[in-house]
A and B are shown apart, each in its own frame.
Chain A
Amino acid sequence: MTELPAIVVDMTSPVPPFEQIRAQFFTLISNGVLHRNDRLPPVRQLAADLRLAVGTTARAYRELEAAGLVRTRRGGGTRVLTSQAAPPERRAALVHERARAFVQQARLLGATDSDLIAAVNDVLG
């Protein structure tokens, strides 16, 4: 079963957490992983799960709203406004590009083909 991806925040990154969250939601929406009218996690729940201040996740949502990607309604939560399903070939190209970058990075660490496959299988569970 394919699960929805998790939102990941790297606290050691120079990119502020709110921007990391905004960028991941932007990718999810602009590639059609999140569809029109899909609901985003509540701001407080996302903040609690990520151990961040509520203001941090709220700012990420405000930025998405300002970009016209989501709309927040009192009592209705935050929902995706646009539906931008990426063409399959574009999505495949993007996945390929990410895979190439992953392999390149892993090779620099001395990983073999079997190491790479084992790592991917491990992450997939």
Chain B
Amino acid sequence: MIQVNQVAAAVAGFLAVLVLAAGGAVLARAWLAPPSLAGGMVAESVPTPRRVILWRIAGLVVGLAGGYLVSNVNLGIGIGPLLSMPVIGGGVLAGVLVGELTAPGPGRTPTRQAQLEIRQVTDYLPRRMLILVGFISALLALVLCVTTLVAVPDDLGRAGRALSVVCADGTTSQRSPWPGIYYSAPTAVVVLLGFILAALTVRRIARRPRVSTDSASRALEDAIRRQTAFTVSAAYGVLVAGPLTGIGLISGLTLLDNCGPLMVHAGGWALVAIGVGALVALCWFMLAILFPRLTGPPPFPEPSEG
């Protein structure tokens, strides 16, 4: 006999699938909408980078699935969840890179043209987001260095997994988990790999051959490259903000839950603030990946006056 709660669960499941499908359809529709220039013009010589966007979506899906899998795999206590966000960012980066590598280039026509220009990575990277991502990376490096230096082995002898604090009454208190070498080493490796992947991707964005040399097509192409570089920056942002959120909050709460002096508690509050800030940035980076046209640079430059 079918129970009422079974029916409710089935309906809820059906609704969840429906909502996910609708959300996916809206995203796909927004991402695949053909680009146009300001004033409604469409540069006909630049094909809609549908394949590029499909690879990006594939990268996001693979990243999400990979992040879920990694968070459930036993890599060590708490290491899986710590690495899940970098895996999502890495999936998006890989998708963007493959999309850029397979993007349609200029045809092998009898007459070929190349503009006298020097395309550099800095022409396409979003400056403000770059500053934010750089700041978060530096903060992550600083926090990891400090937490690694003060870490001690935990009660089972695992190096860099605990924090030892001398209390006011002279007793020693040990708290775990603590982001010592046990957590900082895999985080550093994954972030370094992500940085290399992001650097390769933005270099490809700049160096990818132009499809056409007429000025309207070039403006459109440059806008597409800027949007792609924005997505790459956001994906790298997820890669660094994810671990900083976890490490900041866990180490901060560990310090607050301690018998140490006032300085230790102040450090705890500072780390919690860093963790919360990184969480806000993480949400922004995810939004930037999912809705690049809403959050990114102006898609296509307005025609200059005069």
Check if A and B associate.
yes
A residues with a Cβ closer than 8 A to B are 3-12, 28, 34, 39-42, 44-46, 48-52, 77, 125
Q: Which residues of the partner chain A approach B209 to less than 8 Å between Cβ atoms?
A: 45, 48-49, 51
Spot the interface stretch: B19-27, B106-114, B142-150, B224-232: B106-114
Q: Which residues of the partner chain A approach B118 to less than 8 Å between Cβ atoms?
A: 39, 41-42, 45, 77
Contact of A6 among B107, B110, B114 (CB under 8 A): B114
Q: Which residues of the partner chain A approach B137 to less than 8 Å between Cβ atoms?
A: none
Q: Which residues of the partner chain B approach A40 to less than 8 Å between Cβ atoms?
A: 116
Pairwise interchain contact A49-B116, C-beta atoms closer than 8 A: no
Pairwise interchain contact A11-B110, C-beta atoms closer than 8 A: yes
Q: A42-B118, A49-B209, A49-B210 are in contact. Are A6 and B108 (CB under 8 A)?
A: no
Pairwise interchain contact A6-B113, C-beta atoms closer than 8 A: yes
Q: A11-B111, A77-B118 are in contact. Are A6 and B213 (CB under 8 A)?
A: yes
Q: A41-B118, A45-B207, A51-B209 are in contact. Are A7 and B110 (CB under 8 A)?
A: no
Q: A49-B210, A125-B214 are in contact. Are A9 and B112 (CB under 8 A)?
A: yes
Pairwise interchain contact A7-B114, C-beta atoms closer than 8 A: yes
Residue B171, interface by CB 8 Å: no
* Minimal beta-carbon separation of A33 from chain B (angstroms): 9
Task: Sort A-B residue pairs by CB-CB distance and give the 3 closest, nearest first.
Answer: A49-B114, A48-B209, A4-B116
Contact flags B98-110 to A (C-beta < 8 A → 1, else 0): 0000000111111
Bound Cα distance A74, B188 (Å) = 31
Pairwise interchain contact A11-B207, C-beta atoms closer than 8 A: no
Q: Which residues of the partner chain A approach B116 to less than 8 Å between Cβ atoms?
A: 4-7, 28, 34, 40-41
Residue B302, interface by CB 8 Å: no
Bound Cα distance A45, B119 (Å) = 8
Pairwise interchain contact B111-A41, C-beta atoms closer than 8 A: no
Pairwise interchain contact A51-B112, C-beta atoms closer than 8 A: yes
**Smallest CB gap from B111: residue in A:** A10
Pairwise interchain contact B117-A41, C-beta atoms closer than 8 A: yes
* Interface class of chain B by DSSP: loop
Q: Which residues of the partner chain A approach B107 to less than 8 Å between Cβ atoms?
A: 51
Pairwise interchain contact B114-A46, C-beta atoms closer than 8 A: yes
* Minimal beta-carbon separation of B288 from chain A (angstroms): 28
Known: A45-B119, A49-B209; 16 extra A-B contacts, CB below 8 A, are A5-B116, A6-B114, A6-B116, A7-B116, A8-B112, A9-B111, A9-B112, A11-B110, A39-B118, A40-B116, A41-B114, A41-B118, A46-B114, A48-B207, A49-B113, A51-B112
* Minimal beta-carbon separation of B175 from chain A (angstroms): 49
**Smallest CB gap from A3: residue in B:** B215
Pairwise interchain contact B215-A51, C-beta atoms closer than 8 A: no
Residue B208, interface by CB 8 Å: yes
Residue B115, interface by CB 8 Å: yes
Contact flags B217-251 to A (C-beta < 8 A → 1, else 0): 00000000000000000000000000000000000
* Minimal beta-carbon separation of B119 from chain A (angstroms): 6
Q: Which residues of the partner chain B approach A6 to less than 8 Å between Cβ atoms?
A: 113-116, 213
Subset of 22 A-B contacts with CB under 8 Å: A5-B116, A6-B113, A6-B116, A7-B114, A7-B115, A7-B116, A9-B112, A9-B114, A11-B109, A12-B110, A28-B116, A34-B116, A44-B207, A45-B119, A45-B209, A48-B208, A49-B113, A49-B209, A51-B105, A51-B108, A51-B112, A52-B112
**Smallest CB gap from A5: residue in B:** B116
Bound Cα distance A48, B204 (Å) = 11
